[in-house]
């Protein structure tokens, strides 16, 4: 098995993709809007991926947070609110906000599990700052670490109730970035004391099964390399200061914050200590280069994967989707 999660080009697995994936044995797959048409098609696709790999516990990922970050949406699935809605409720009723976001996450998990998706790249634990880039503020759970941690825990719990694994992101924190790392490389000049605020939600959820890095340069830790490619940040900050020992994946290595070829970036991320590379776009030439540059997954990373996925197929929500949505919406209406 190669330590990489690949995207697909379309609504079905092409013949070329099938041949490549069977030989390469990627750790898992991630789905986007280009891969999604309706429930029947999506369940057929996830069934096909599991049959192709022979792995019932195959990680099939998606970014399904609510708001703008929702790969499954209307008219096939309902639109869901984003993090700031729950942050606003927390201002007036903290316990209600936690219950609302837990119901929100469980409903999301039910929706995903129904179509064979078992990993959601969520919750986002980045602390919003007054000048944080919009890519984060439209999704953030708040500006206070304990609030973000409490709602992040509720999201992980809600997803788990539905048999879905959550991924905490973006380690060690994207909130101080002034630009979008999809488009350019952010640089954070804050000192270590200030960054303790950003680390705190991740510390509180250090037992999360999976986590995702961020493509940001933190001058105080490694002024030469973004976190994803920095052994110092991965080993000393994420594994050390935060204490995270779950499966650590990169953010999408195709984002413009990183430079180099796909294979170079993938190899550098694994060398830095990441367990898994995330390559989202399903470009065959890039996927081939990545596989050529990567060794098989390490025993340590494989153990982390097995821990993260243990029992996923056995956990299913016994609460109806409509009931969960109604509970969430009734609580959000308190604002």
Catalytic residue list: 182, 251
Cβ–Cβ < 8 Å for 140, 132: yes
How many angstroms separate the CA atoms of 250 and 161, rounded?
Answer: 26
Beta bridge partners of 249: 212, 276
How many angstroms separate the CA atoms of 207 and 1, rounded?
Answer: 25
φ/ψ bin of 67: left (φ > 0), alpha (ψ from -120 to 50), beta (otherwise) = left
Q: Identify the CA nearest to 164 among candidates 110, 215, 213.
A: 110
Cβ–Cβ < 8 Å for 212, 247: no
Quote the distance between the C-alpha of residue 249 and its chain's center. Answer: 8
Cβ–Cβ < 8 Å for 174, 324: no
Cβ–Cβ < 8 Å for 270, 293: no
Query: Residue with structure tokens 């013949």?
Result: 15
- The beta strand positions in the chain, using DSSP E, are 2-7, 26-31, 60-62, 64-66, 69-70, 119-120, 165-171, 187-188, 210-213, 217-218, 247-252, 276-279
In angstroms, the Cα distances linking 159 to 165, 167, 305 are: 6, 10, 17
Cβ–Cβ < 8 Å for 29, 60: yes
HSE-CB for 100 with a 13 A CA cutoff: 26
| Number of other residues whose CB lies within 10 A of the CB of residue 306 | 11
């Amino acid at each position: 098995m190669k330590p990489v999660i690949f995207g697909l080009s379309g609504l079905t697995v092409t013949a070329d993709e099938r041949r490549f994936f069977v030989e390469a044995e990627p750790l898992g797959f991630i789905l986007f809007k280009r891969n999604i048409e309706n429930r029947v098609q999506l369940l057929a696709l996830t069934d096909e991926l599991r049959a192709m790999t022979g792995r019932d516990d195959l990680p099939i990922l998606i970014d399904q947070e609510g708001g703008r970050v929702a790969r499954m949406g209307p008219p096939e699935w309902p639109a869901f609110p984003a993090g700031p809605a729950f942050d606003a409720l927390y201002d007036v009723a903290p316990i209600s906000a936690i219950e609302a976001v837990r119901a929100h996450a469980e409903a999301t998990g039910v929706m995903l599990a129904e179509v064979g998706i078992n990993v959601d790249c969520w919750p986002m634990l980045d602390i919003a700052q007054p000048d944080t880039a919009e890519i984060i503020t439209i999704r953030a759970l708040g500006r206070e670490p304990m609030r973000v941690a409490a709602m992040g825990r509720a999201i992980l719990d809600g997803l788990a109730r539905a048999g879905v694994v959550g991924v905490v992101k973006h380690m060690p924190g994207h909130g101080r970035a002034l630009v979008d790392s999809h488009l350019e490389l952010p640089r954070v000049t804050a000192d270590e004391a200030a960054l303790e605020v950003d680390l705190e939600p991740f510390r509180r959820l250090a037992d999360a099964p999976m986590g995702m890095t961020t493509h940001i340069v933190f001058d105080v830790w490694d002024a030469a390399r973004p976190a994803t490619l920095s052994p110092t940040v991965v080993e000393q900050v994420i594994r050390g200061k935060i204490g995270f020992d779950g499966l650590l994946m990169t953010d999408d290595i195709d984002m413009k914050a990183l430079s180099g070829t796909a294979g170079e970036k993938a190899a550098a991320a694994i060398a830095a200590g990441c367990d898994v590379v995330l390559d989202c776009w399903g470009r065959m030439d890039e996927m081939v280069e990545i596989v050529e540059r990567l060794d098989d997954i390490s025993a340590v990373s494989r153990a982390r994967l097995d821990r993260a996925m243990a029992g996923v197929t056995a956990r299913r929500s016994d609460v109806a989707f409509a009931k969960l949505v109604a509970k969430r919406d009734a609580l959000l209406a308190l604002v």
